[in-house]
């Protein structure tokens, strides 16, 4: 294969379109959340992921799992958790069965902010997808995202 191989060129164009779609969505969501809630898209994602924890078996995520969920390095996730903890939106505590483990929970203030921000997030996401759907290069990706929303995998 060479750099001009049509299959590689198509793959590169597909990756470029996916990257462009992600950037547009993230930018739209970031602006909306910052303007209305003083919350970044990453902070929102972290609060959302952590709010889904539960007290049952496997209900609490380790920091590595949280980092994977918000697509950040473990150290960047730890810094993000610290910032939200300083704002009173998260709290940390030792795992009752393994004193080396530290869990992070969303505080009542964090849950309130998340619920206030959720409509803003969802509206910005929908607007970004609707706008991207008008771009012929991005429309197939938007279609795939919408299929995933419905629980179906794209064919």
Dihedral sign for Cα 78, 25, 19, 15, please: positive
46-63 mean pLDDT: 84
- Residue 139, token pair as written in the block: 């429309």
* Per-residue pLDDT band at 30 (split at 50, 70, 90): very high
Q: What are phi and psi of 106, to 5 degrees?
A: -80, 130
3-state SS string for 44-72: HHHHHHHHCCCCCCCCCCCHHHHHHHHCC
Place of tokens 């206030």: 116
Among 20-29, 48-57, 125-134, name the one with the lowest average pLDDT. Answer: 48-57
pLDDT score at 3: 60
pTM for this one?
Answer: 0.84
């Amino acid at each position: 294969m060479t750099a001009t191989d049509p299959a590689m060129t198509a793959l590169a164009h597909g990756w470029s379109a996916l990257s462009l779609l992600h950037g547009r969505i993230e930018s739209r969501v970031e602006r909306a959340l910052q303007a209305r809630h003083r919350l970044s898209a990453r902070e929102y994602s972290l609060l959302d992921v952590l709010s889904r924890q539960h007290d049952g078996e496997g209900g609490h995520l380790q920091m590595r799992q949280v980092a994977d969920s918000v697509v950040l390095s473990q150290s960047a996730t730890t810094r993000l958790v610290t910032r939200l903890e300083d704002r009173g939106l998260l709290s940390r505590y030792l795992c009752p069965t393994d004193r080396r483990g530290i869990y992070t929970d969303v505080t009542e203030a964090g849950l309130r902010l998340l619920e206030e921000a959720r409509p803003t997030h969802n509206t910005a996401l929908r607007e970004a997808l609707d706008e991207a759907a008008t771009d012929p290069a991005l429309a197939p990706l938007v279609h795939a995202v919408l299929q995933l929303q419905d629980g179906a995998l794209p064919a």
